Chain A
Amino acid sequence: MARSNKPIVWGPFAAGGTLTALLTPALVLLTLLAAFGHAPEVLAFERLHALASHWLAKVTLAGVVFLSLWSAAHRLRITCYDLGIRADTVVATLVYAGALAGTGASVLYLLRI
């Protein structure tokens, strides 16, 4: 039977697409409110630091970062192909490595909290 690695890259893409569709507009609105000087209570240092200290919050935040970055990376890869960049292996390596690096960094920062 022919083997394919498509499900491995496509699974997190679909999960991330659904997660960002449900969550990202509301989250962007929170930081946009902060930008206009109406920072929601949760963005106060003590509140957010206490929240992010819980292991469940750390796991959730790392998961959200991973799925968001991975689905964006996968879409960027397909977009590059659509725009005529046919070096798919190079593009795929770069974007997925970027998503994993971003996730790794956020895990590192979360462990320091």
Chain B
Amino acid sequence: MAEKLSRRPYLRPVTSEWIFRHPRYLRYMVREFSCLFIGGWTLLMVWGLKQLSEGPAAWAVFLEVLKAPEIIVFHVLALAFAVYHSITWFNLTPKALPLQIGDGFMPDAVIAGAHFAAWAAVSLAVLYLAGAF
């Protein structure tokens, strides 16, 4: 088809090898892959809701499945990716929510720092209210 044209427009090849051209691209992709773990863990919890709605025996099955080695491996990876997502997300907050004060801007470290503090507070509150410690 393309050979029959008198003009042959340049078709930029679509590849995925660009990821490995620079560590920055790789870090970007690692951050993006966090969606598989956060989404996957959420779907596991949707199944947990199903088990919860079906009674104590079904819920016990859910708790038992959590102890499977492959689920534990998934959980450890999901935790690492979720933490990485949080760090990258809060590091971007000064770009997403710049705060102007008079002629200047609130320093980036203050905006990101406030978000990291909120993250710590929410995490501690969740763990405390859930009775984890």
Residues of A at the B interface (CB closer than 8 Å) are: 17-18, 20-37, 39-43, 45, 48-49, 52, 61, 65, 68-69, 71-73, 75-76, 78-79, 82-84, 86, 102, 105-106, 109-110, 112-113
Contact = CB atoms under 8 A, between A and B. Distances in A.
B42 A39 contact: no
Interface in B21-71: 29, 32-36, 38-39, 41-46, 49-50, 52-54, 56, 59-60, 63, 66-67, 71
Contacts of B99: none
B127 A30 contact: yes
B115 to A, nearest CB: 8
Interface of B: 14-16, 19, 29, 32-36, 38-39, 41-46, 49-50, 52-54, 56, 59-60, 63, 66-67, 71-72, 75-76, 78-79, 82-83, 85-86, 89-90, 118-119, 122-123, 126-127, 129-132
Contacts of A32: 72, 75-76, 79
Contact of A109 (B46, B76, B78, B127): B46
A24 B41 contact: yes
A113 B38 CA distance: 24
Contact of A20 (B66, B72, B82): B82
A102 B126 CA distance: 23
Given A17-B89, A52-B52, A106-B49, A35 B66 contact: yes
B131 A42 contact: yes
Nearest to B121: A22
Contacts of A68: 38-39, 42
Contacts of A35: 66-67, 71-72, 75
Nearest to B90: A21
Contacts of A23: 122, 126
Nearest to A16: B38
A79 B132 CA distance: 35
